[in-house]
A and B are shown apart, each in its own frame.
Chain A
Amino acid sequence: MTAQTSATRRSSRARSSMYRGKAGQWAFILHRVTGFLVFAFLLLHIVDVATLNDPHVYNALHQLYGNIVLRLFEVGLLFALLYHALNGLRVIMIDFFPGAVRNEQALFYGLLGLTIVLTIVGGYVIVKPFFVGVH
């Protein structure tokens, strides 16, 4: 890549690299990716709920959601939603109460840890019925 193209590319990506590789940049990238995934799921979800007009189709579709692939997909959705929600609170705090957060990096790792723990706990509940049946 020539210096010219590299410089052009850098300027066009100025917004996404404003945090210069610190924890905030990873927080930002993950916020975008998880937001996109949750939104994509919302679009799919609106369509699947619309089949309520034909209960047979709706019920068949929700039995399908019970297979292992879609259950794992559900766990992924849980992770994305939890991360986006918790990091969103962090963004709101930083925007509205500047200076209230002493250690942004620790806050980011803390919320990432909480997201992972809650995903594992929730993921266990979501995946378990596939193996032992629904009580």
Chain B
Amino acid sequence: MAISLSPRAQRRPRQNFETWAWLFMRVSGLVLFFLALIHMYIMHIENDVTHTTASFVAHRWANPLWRLFDWLLLTLGLLHGGNGLRTIVNDYVHRPGTKLVTKTLLYGGGGALFLLGTITILTFH
């Protein structure tokens, strides 16, 4: 595919943060392919949404492996989606001030929801 790179980039490919972010998206994407589709199948196709009550979750989370499954889905989903949104912000938000505010909201909100989700998975009985 013809993607024109600047001469500098062509001369010296570096293993910088963006390279690792690129690799992370592929690896986490592959894991999420199975985690997210299995989750969607069980919670929305196999069981009706009105049947997934608190006691349904209590029964399901009696097995710690399902808690681990859901925590991995939470963590990888937030990291994969958060990095995707970071890319979108980099592409479309150009004013430095707006960029700072948007990214602060993204990282702050993402971190807060990671904590909220983790606490929910760990403390529900």
CB distance from B6 to the nearest CB of A (A): 12
By a CB distance below 8 angstroms, the chain B residues around A96 are: 26
- Is B19 interfacial (CB 8 A cutoff)? no
- Is B65 interfacial (CB 8 A cutoff)? no
By a CB distance below 8 angstroms, the chain B residues around A122 are: 44-45
- Contact between A59 and B53 (Cβ–Cβ < 8 Å)? yes
- Contact between B116 and A46 (Cβ–Cβ < 8 Å)? yes
Q: Which residues in chain A, 26-55, are within 8 Å of chain B measured between CB atoms? A: 32, 35-36, 38-39, 42-43, 46-47, 49-50, 52-53, 55
For chain B, give the interface size range.
Answer: 35 or more
Question: A1-43 CB contact bits vs B (8 Å, 1 = yes)?
Answer: 0000000000010011010000000000000100110110011
By a CB distance below 8 angstroms, the chain A residues around B123 are: 53
- Is B18 interfacial (CB 8 A cutoff)? no
For chain A, give the interface size range.
Answer: 35 or more
CB distance from A71 to the nearest CB of B (A): 7
By a CB distance below 8 angstroms, the chain A residues around B77 are: 39, 42
Contact surface of A with B, Cβ cutoff 8 Å: 12, 15-16, 18, 32, 35-36, 38-39, 42-43, 46-47, 49-50, 52-53, 55, 58-59, 62-63, 65-66, 71, 74, 77-78, 81-82, 85, 88-89, 91-92, 95-96, 122, 125-126, 129, 134
Given A59-B53, A129-B50, 15 extra CB contacts under 8 A: A39-B77, A39-B82, A39-B84, A42-B81, A50-B117, A52-B124, A59-B54, A62-B49, A62-B52, A66-B49, A78-B44, A81-B37, A85-B37, A126-B49, A134-B51
